[in-house]
Each structure stands twice: as C-alpha cells, then as structure tokens.
Amino acid sequence: MEPTPLASYNRLWSFFKPFAVLYLHSRAWRGREDKKRLRERYGHYAQERPKGQLFWLHAVSVGESIAALNLATCLREIQPDLNILITTNTHTAARRIAEQGDSVILHGYQPLDHPQWVARFLDHWQPNHAIMLESDFWPNLICATAARGIPLCFASAQLSDNAYQAWQKRVHLARTIFSTPQDIFAVDTHQADKFKNLADGKGKKPRILIGGSLKFNPASLIPNAAMEGMLAD
C-alpha cells in the first residue's frame, strides 16, 4: 500500500528529529530561543490548563500575535469567560502577548512539528477550538488537531506566491492539509482562489470565505456568524 502524504512527511521527521534538537539548542545558545522555556518546543508546558473552554490561536511572530490579540479581544466580547491560548515561535511575540497583561490570555511556544511533540501539546492543553492565523501551516499540528475532533479554522489566511508554488509541488500533502479545516477565512478573493486550488480533490472540503486581514484592520474584526457558531458549539 502506498504511504499517505502525512506518513511520508513523518518518515522525514524520524530522520531529522536528532538534528532538529541540535538546531533548537543552537538557536537557544545564540539567543534566538527562550532557554528557560525550551521544553515547550517539545510539548512540555509548566503552565496548567485553565478550567473551562480554551480557544487556541496559533500565530508566528509579532505581526501575527497582534492579529491574535485583536481576535482574542473580539472573541471575549462574545464570551467573557473564555480562556485563550496564543502560541508563537519568537521571543518578541511572547513579550508582546505578555505586555497586554490579561491573565486569561495565555502564551505558549509552538511545539516543533514532530508527531510526538504535537501530541504532547494537545494532551496538555486540550483546546476546545483552534484557529491558525496568517500563513503558518504545519501538517502534524493541523491534522492531529482535526483528528481529535477539535473544530479548526484558518483565519486571516494568506500565502505568498512562493509558498503557494511550493505547495503546488506537493499536491497530495497540500490537499491533506488544506482540506482539513472546517472554514478558511482568506484575506481576499485572490487568496481564496489559492486555498480552493490547494484543497481541490475528492471528499470533504472546507468552506472558504473572505474575512479580510486581522492584522491591519481591527475595526473589521467583529466575528461573523460562522465564528459565533464555533463559540456556541
């Protein structure tokens, strides 16, 4: 039987795992990773999961973390007791989230995309909903989340032309990833067409909607009926 695209991807991870660990420690030594929280990149978190509903927003760096904070504000206007976890990759994004001073908005570093580390992350946080922001699409992070029945969407979604062309060269893996979320809120019609093409294929497809950019236009961040429906579930 021919291996699935995700299985082939994870075989590469089994080979690169030791090198990923060395690379991560090298980054920490050069000050590009938080040494005190390096274990989070392997799915180990000191913070306890809060009780109640937890909404997980995945960003990357400072720009995406601003979008995540804007979205978090809007979500909590709908449901004030909502707990929100924002995951990022960088020091600066972590500091930006800490500066907002809201104890209900938690920060964690994204685990690297090895299936074991992603599983630890999901076991610990057990999010009720997940939103991937902008353009950071990790196969295991996305597919393992959906496999647990966690409602998943992409928001403020966009791909550079280079990234889009790279995904087109990996058509089977791209279909696996971009057909997985329930909803994709693309920034504009041009980006929506990219996601439609990448998700194209037989079987389940996500709803693809135009949601604008959460990064640059906070005034337009009122969640629509689809987002409110996620909170109601």
The residues carrying an active-site annotation are: 64
In terms of C-beta density within 10 A (0-12 exposed, 13-18 middle, 19 or more buried), how is residue 129 classed?
buried
Q: What is the CA radius of gyration of the chain?
A: 17
Distance CA 125, CA 35 (A): 21
Distance CA 131, CA 137 (A): 11
Q: What does 195-208 look like in DSSP terms, one character per residue?
A: HHHHH-SSS---EE
C-alpha distances in Å from residue 212, one per residue of 51, 204, 219, 221:
32, 24, 11, 9
What is the side-by-side order of every strand in the sheet holding 54-58? 105-109, 83-88, 54-58, 129-133, 152-157, 183-186, 207-210
| Torsions phi, psi for 204 (to 5 deg) | -65, 140
